[in-house]
Amino acid sequence: MTVGSTPGELATYLETHKAQVDAALERAVANLIDDLSAEVREATSHGVTTGGKRLRPVLCVSAYEACGGRIAPATYDLAASLELIHAYSLMHDDLPCMDDADLRRGRPTTHRDLGEDATMRAGAALIPAAALQALGACRALGCDDGRAVAVTRALLEAAGAGGMVGGQWLDLLGEGQALDADELDELHRRKTGALLEASLLMGGLAAGAPSRVQACLREYGAAIGLAFQIADDILDATQSAETLGKNPSDAALGKSTYVALYGLEEARERAEMEVDRALEALDRAELRAPMLRALARYVIDRKK
């Protein structure tokens, strides 16, 4: 088994890559709206450039590197395409007709600052922008057209009705109902898991990973996706909205949570099991990937 990194190494790694991802996101937003007005720039930037852990892009870059890719600025551009999709989903999730949230990452949500109409449009604009961003980054990384299509398909499938939006639907339909374990897993496999899985897969595909490794990366992604969601539910149950920088909690919205389903103790055990499954997938892939190992633990050890 490959040896993991120390907590200090992980913190430095996260910080370094996050800074590069943030720079790529600034480029992406500037590119998206360069010939439109200041109002448009403001609304689009609001949802994209307001912090966050940048977990999906960092996973993408890590997978790219683990599969033998040489990191270049375009690697971060590719990774940023995932964050554009993630940012759109949060902007739309927070709208009054959805979760009606006032806070996100400790700041007013986009619609509170700039209105519902601007938030809807800015969110929707990010979806084609993300796909174009992925295509452009693949070209810059020297991927041939076939590989660029595969990478972009992975992003689009994760973002669509079979993935994230499908999970959001299940989330809507499940409000006020007690979902069973399979239903809750299915919801989060789509809602959170699909894009995390795509993060790994896109990095691997862009670096030319063979299909055996692609399958392991997907399993790693699916496992940390579930672990991530269980950890989210634990944080929601044990931390204040102020610490988390967002409100309201899923429990307050009448949504099923892993903590409600299993209790805190068993939820923690299940998160650990998913992390183990992720690490086993890396072992099977025979990748030298200390940072992917450290990231799997980070997903459940994080404090917000």
- 181's tokens: 């374990």
Stretch that binds its own copies, among 65-73, 113-121, 219-227, 241-249 (CB under 8 A): 113-121
Q: Report the chain's C-alpha Rg in angstroms.
A: 18
Smallest gap from residue 159 Cβ to its own copies (A): 5
Residue keyed to tokens 């909690």: 249
Query: Is residue 91 part of the contact set for its own copies (CB under 8 A)?
Result: no
Q: Which stretch binds its own copies (CB under 8 A): 46-54, 109-117, 211-219, 266-274?
A: 109-117
Among 135, 230, 291, 294, interactor with its own copies by CB under 8 A: 135
Q: How far is 118 from 111, CA to CA, in rounded Å?
A: 7
Structure tokens at 253: 């919205």
Which residue number, 125 or 289, has a Cβ lying nearer to its own copies? 125
162 binds its own copies, rule: CB under 8 A: yes
Query: Which residue in 168, 229, 256, 257 binds its own copies (CB under 8 A)?
Result: 168
Determine if 159 is a binding residue for its own copies (CB under 8 A): yes
Choose between 147 and 268: whose C-beta lies nearer to its own copies. 147
Continuous H helices in the chain: 7-32, 38-48, 55-66, 73-93, 110-114, 116-140, 145-159, 164-174, 181-188, 194-206, 211-238, 241-244, 258-262, 264-285, 290-301
| Pair 200, 151: CB distance under 8 Å | no
The two tokens of residue 124 are 């929707």
Q: Is residue 39 involved in binding its own copies (CB under 8 A)?
A: yes
Least distance from its own copies to the Cβ atom of residue 27, Å: 15
Q: Is the peptide bond before 7 cis (omega within 30 degrees of 0)?
A: no
Residues at the contact surface with its own copies, assessed by CB under 8 A? 32-33, 35-37, 39-40, 44, 88, 92, 95, 97-98, 115-118, 120-121, 123-125, 127-129, 131-132, 135, 144-146, 148-149, 152-153, 155-157, 159-162, 165-166, 168-170, 172-173
